[in-house]
Amino acid sequence: MRSYSLADFDAVLAIGRKGSFRAAALDLGVSTTALSNTIARLESQLGVRLFNRTTRSVALTEAGRRFIAQLSPALGDIHQALDAVRAQQDTPAGTLRINTFATAGREILAPLVLECLRRFPQVRIDLVTEGNLVDIVADGFDFGIRSRNLVPSDMIAIPLGPVRQHVVVATPAYLAGRELPRVPADLLGLTCIRTRLPNGALLRWQFEAEGQPLQVDVDGPLTLDEASLARIAVLASIGIGHFMESDVREDIAAGKLVRLLEDWTPPLSPLCLYYPSRRNPPAAFRVFVDLARELARGGSV
């Protein structure tokens, strides 16, 4: 007797959406080998090939395209029915998938994610950090966390804290014997730790003068793509760094780093938790939203 599982069909949709077994496997939280075996078994049971696979690409067959076109709305109805049942749970349980970027992940980890796990031990959270902005619905996430100006207009958004700010910092040892920069252009004569963005471009340090944005292309011997690595380099007195204030707040308070050009760093949009409207959200989804609103009322993350 042939048997199919909901996970089998979710796997087909994930591969069709991502166009890659590897990306779909990451999305589903399984190994690429396990996902490949699932599809091979399903194709064998159906007696038809759903994907044309080569070492470099994956493409839907005509049968696969028709299958997904009919499967997708039906599977959506099934998941809505499951959500309706889960909404009646007395105890929040299940997995919540959240997409954000690394700096925001560090900011919300303790007050939101870890607090949720402490209060609701049967809830699981899959937190994915990446630099690129993604479609959380298309990529199978329950929530996104981004700066307010990056939240899509059709999403419900909850501000998670106050206005945020970039800081420019260096160690007292690096600054010893050097003239402190008084305007952003002074950085051009100093050693800076450069940052590479997810798209490969170098970050231009952002400042503001009399309400007008100002950008500086700094120079230095070291280019990194992760704030935690840049912090290590700056603490080692290699040069001046540009960070989110939350990433080096404790270092500034402890006197390990000195803040520079403070009057030139503009405020940034606050972080927001955002999500699409759902008719029957599961209990885990509801309590996470409630916790985010609680944080919003407290005014900090």
β-pairing, 212-216 vs 205-209, is: antiparallel
Q: Which residues pair with 206 in a beta bridge?
A: 215
DSSP class of residue 153?
A: T
pLDDT tens, 37-91?
889 888 888 888 999 887 677 888 998 889 888 888 888 888 777 767 766 666 8
The pLDDT of residue 1: 47
Tokens (6 digits) for 49: 């090939």
Sign of the torsion formed by the C-alpha atoms of 247, 252, 256 and 260:
positive
**Of residues 121 and 103, which shows the higher confidence score?**
121
pLDDT of residue 6 exceeding 50? yes
Q: Is 177 exposed, middle or buried (0-12, 13-18, 19+ CB in 10 A)?
A: exposed
Our CA dihedral for 218, 220, 223, 228, rounded to 10 degrees, sits at -90
pLDDT-derived band at 300, boundaries 50, 70, 90: low
What b/e readout covers 211-242, taking b as 16+ CB neighbours within 10 angstroms? eeebebebebeeebeebeebbebbbeebbbbb
How much of the chain exceeds pLDDT 70, in percent? 95
Separation CA 248–CA 232 (nearest Å): 11
In this predicted model, which residue has the larger pLDDT, 244 or 87?
244
146, 136 contact by CB (below 8 A)? no
For the cut 80, the answer to whether the pLDDT of residue 7 exceeds it is yes
Write down the mean pLDDT value for the chain: 88
The pLDDT-based confidence of 234 (bands split at 50, 70, 90) is: very high
Of residues 23, 12, 141, 18, the one with CA closest to residue 69: 12
Question: CB burial class (10 A; 0-12, 13-18, 19+) of residue 204?
Answer: middle
